[in-house]
């Protein structure tokens, strides 16, 4: 089994204790970041978050204990822990980090943990390799087999993520390495967009406390070793200016390599698309932008 844990931990239990109890080994030199910072927040977040962790945990046990006996293969990708503010539909690790569990006959890494950077794009070429069929041309992902077979400690030095539209237009890009992450916002609207977060008691409590009035910088740089919860923005720190330039250049090169339409300016939605205003309080609000040039 390969466990790609960025965030999910049993609440109240140290990672090493959990691994020892479950007989799961850590690969040498790999680190793990526990999650549950959001569980220490407002009460609705704690309550809903704990319920979600419980559901996810029981789902994993069911999939690995029952589904794999029938199919003998399981690719279990855990989604984010709910639509809390600053989580789902953001490019923080709490938005893009998900756990990946693999089980298949003869897996040489069964029962071990790996913190290598991987992407959903890597699953298709992995399936192709396991099935013994050629990989189609043009794939951006890479097979996970070198990690599983122990012939490589990484398959990507960096992984990339993006946001364009959810309910409102929120163009954001990021590049994440093992040590640093760089996020670049391209929207003229400089605050969190409430319509891009599903309604919940936690969202309502944060909104009442002024969460959606905070200004957001165009660039963010985080040291994921010293600041794994991404709380200290280093983008304007002189000591990290070279790192910011390096990661900004890596991100731009990826955008050019993949033909990112943001390089040509604002992305116009397809005809007939319904797009909320960035300050709409809820995705359920039926007030849509009529002239998209207002945001250009």
Q: Are 36 and 15 in contact (CB under 8 A)?
A: no
Both tokens of 87, joined, read: 């989580």
How far, in Å, CA of 190 to CA of 213, rounded? 9
Query: pLDDT digits over 66-87, tens only?
Result: 544 434 455 555 555 556 888 8
Q: Give residue 110's pLDDT band: very low, low, confident or very high (50, 70, 90).
A: confident
Strand-pair category, 112-113 with 2-3? parallel
Predicted local confidence at residue 79, as pLDDT = 53
Predicted local confidence at residue 87, as pLDDT = 83
Q: Are 84 and 203 in contact (CB under 8 A)?
A: yes
Predicted local confidence at residue 18, as pLDDT = 39
How far, in Å, CA of 253 to CA of 257, rounded? 6
pLDDT of 246 over the 90 cut: yes
Residue range 273-294: mean pLDDT, rounded: 87
């Amino acid at each position: 089994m390969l466990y790609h844990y960025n965030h999910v931990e049993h609440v109240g239990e140290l990672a090493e204790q959990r691994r020892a109890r479950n007989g799961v080994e850590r690969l040498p030199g790999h680190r793990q970041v526990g999650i549950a910072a959001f569980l220490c927040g407002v009460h609705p977040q704690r309550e809903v978050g704990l319920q979600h962790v419980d559901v996810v945990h029981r789902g994993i046990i069911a999939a690995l204990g029952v589904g794999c006996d029938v199919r003998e293969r399981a690719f279990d990708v855990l989604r984010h822990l709910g639509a809390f503010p600053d989580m789902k539909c953001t490019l923080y690790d709490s938005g893009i980090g998900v756990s990946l569990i693999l089980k298949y006959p003869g897996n040489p890494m069964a029962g071990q943990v790996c913190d290598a950077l991987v992407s959903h794009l890597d699953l298709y070429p992995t399936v192709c390799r396991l099935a013994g069929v050629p990989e189609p041309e043009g794939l951006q992902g890479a097979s996970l087999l070198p990690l599983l077979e122990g012939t490589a400690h990484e398959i990507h030095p960096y992984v990339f993520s993006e946001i364009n539209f959810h309910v409102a237009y929120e163009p954001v890009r990021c590049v994440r390495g093992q040590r640093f992450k760089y996020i670049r916002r391209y929207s003229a609207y400089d605050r969190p967009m409430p319509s891009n977060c599903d309604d919940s008691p936690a969202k309502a409590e944060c909104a009442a406390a002024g969460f959606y009035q905070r200004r957001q910088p165009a660039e963010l740089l985080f040291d994921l070793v010293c600041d794994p919860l991404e709380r200290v923005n280093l983008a304007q720190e002189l000591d990290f200016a070279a790192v910011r330039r390096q990661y900004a250049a890596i991100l731009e090169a990826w955008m050019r390599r993949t033909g990112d339409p943001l390089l040509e300016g604002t992305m116009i939605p397809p005809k007939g698309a319904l797009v909320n205003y960035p300050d709409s309080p809820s995705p359920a609000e039926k007030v849509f932008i009529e002239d998209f040039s207002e945001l250009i």
